Amino acid sequence: MAKAANAVLDQADGLRRMKPPSPVRVIAVTSGKGGVGKTNVSVNLAVAMAGNGKQVMLLDGDLGLANIDVMLGLQPSFNLAHVLEGKCRLEDTLMIGPNGVMIVPASSGKRHMAELSQAEHAGLVRAFSELSRPLDVLIIDTAAGIADSVITFSQASQEIIVVVTGDPTSLTDAYALIKVLNRDHGINRVQVLANMVRDASEAQSVYESLRRVAERFLDITLSFVGGIPHDEWLKRAVRRQRSVVEAYPNCAASEAFRQLARKADGWGMPVGARGNLEFFVERLVNAPVSPLPAALLNTGPVLARAVL
Ligand SMILES: Nc1ncnc2c1ncn2[C@@H]1O[C@H](COP(=O)(O)OP(=O)(O)OP(=O)(O)O)[C@@H](O)[C@H]1O
Ligand SMILES: [Mg+2]
């Protein structure tokens, strides 16, 4: 009897192991203007999601400047460039951050993915496909603006968080980025996060300014994903090269990041998402190089009028 029961259990265990892994959620964090808080949002969202028991990978997608390793005081020996050159595996680049977040350091030297050779493309796809660790979420911290790498990472992701502040130039540049993503690259869904705001009502009004203009002139749905308050504890955490969620969990910014993580957890998976990262890498390397930002012309005054 016990033998039969064990056999059933063994079979169930075997079936569980055969079950394909659940799809990986890929989130790009981007902005029109630099310095609005993308890296802090990426790092703290990753740490907060990992705190909820998710397996999270954080990819430093700012191919020009290494950001995340500096912010977390890490000293990587390898980065994505070494993987592409075949000098190491993706696993070897991983650094472990707070709550077990796996960090892939930036590959300096390559300005954008379009510069990769065919062999490097193949190497990148292989590197991600060979990653044996289970993964629930991949968060990509991109550079600012409409650089090719930003467009490419955004196109390859299922969700795009555009970080914006109340500063009019941040709003204008966010609109310009959203316009390029929408008109030239067919993206019609963006999540807006208001950073460094005084309170919830400022966050909402920052979002409304952007939504009014975007929905009037573009074929896009903007969603308000919340606000992160301006918080001196966050600055202190940056100075200590720590994530604020881990260093000062009780401050207002940390609470807001945990709220953001809960929201991101609730986002539905797109139809057709597969259980590994291959789809993401395929989209990454197959994305066409973005055309010159002709669509940017005249965006500034339109938004400036709407905001002011
Ligand atoms: N919620 C916040 N409260 C207080 N200060 C903040 C907040 N968010 C960001 N900052 C400040 O802004 C600085 C820039 O943030 P961060 O490096 O995350 O921006 P970024 O958009 O990634 O910049 P870059 O475009 O250069 O990559 C931080 O070092 C911190 O001092
Ligand atoms: Mg940054």
Report whether pLDDT(204) > 80: yes
Question: Between these two residues, 126 and 162, which has the higher pLDDT value?
Answer: 162
Domain boundaries, the chain: 22-307
Confidence (pLDDT) at 29: 95
Q: How far is CA 220 from the centre of its chain?
A: 19
Percent of the chain with pLDDT over 90: 48
216: buried, middle or exposed (CB in 10 Å: 19+, 13-18, 0-12)? exposed
Q: Is 40 in the pocket of ligand 1 (CB under 6 A)?
A: yes
Q: Is 31 in the pocket of ligand 1 (CB under 6 A)?
A: yes
CATH class of 22-307: alpha beta
Confidence (pLDDT) at 239: 96
Report whether pLDDT(9) > 60: no
Q: Is 251 in the pocket of ligand 1 (CB under 6 A)?
A: no
Pocket probe for ligand 1: among 41, 238, 243, the residue whose CB has the most ligand atoms within 8 Å is 238
Report whether pLDDT(95) > 90: yes
* Phi, then psi, of 169 in degrees rounded to 5: -70, -30
Report whether pLDDT(62) > 70: yes
Q: Is 230 in the pocket of ligand 1 (CB under 6 A)?
A: yes
pLDDT band per the 50, 70, 90 thresholds, residue 272: low
Q: How far apart are CA 119 and CA 81, in angstroms?
A: 13
